[in-house]
Amino acid sequence: GTDDGGDDIDKSDLVKINIRIRDDKRKILVLDEFHVDPSFCNLPGGDIVSVAQSLVKDLNLPEDMTTTIVTTILEQIRGLQVPVNLHDAKVNIVGANGGEVTKTELSRE
């Protein structure tokens, strides 16, 4: 990227991560997206497990969802594409701010 005096992160190195996890048994649907720089994955706090643990904590999810989130992040860093939409979900939807998202908001994605 160009040096504009800002972050030293090359935007072309960032991988967009789409978290789309549905747990019908517990009626949880997690929808989130963010970018990660795979070169930071070996640094303290930047590793995939720390990122997943932070997401679980921020969204007040059950701790055992950390493994599922780690898996989906790793799969996407390796190139797996994740569908963006999960329509007709009859569950409590947790948004990025930890609050519930209405079905109308979900359909805007």
Assigned token pair, 54:
């932070």
pTM of structure = 0.62
Assigned token pair, 20:
């789309």
Confidence at residue 25, expressed as pLDDT on a 0 to 100 scale:
92
Using the CB atoms, write b or e for 14-31: b if 16+ within 10 Å: eeebbbbbeeeeeebbbb
Q: DSSP for 46-103?
A: TSHHHHHHHHHHHTT--TTHHHHHHHHHHHHHTT----S---S--SEEE-TTSSB--H
Which residue did the predictor score with more confidence, 8 or 56?
56
Tell me: the pLDDT tens digits for 10-53?
677 888 999 999 999 999 999 999 998 888 777 776 788 999 99
Confidence at residue 92, expressed as pLDDT on a 0 to 100 scale:
45
Tell me what the mean pLDDT of segment 83-105 comes to. 47
Confidence at residue 46, expressed as pLDDT on a 0 to 100 scale:
72
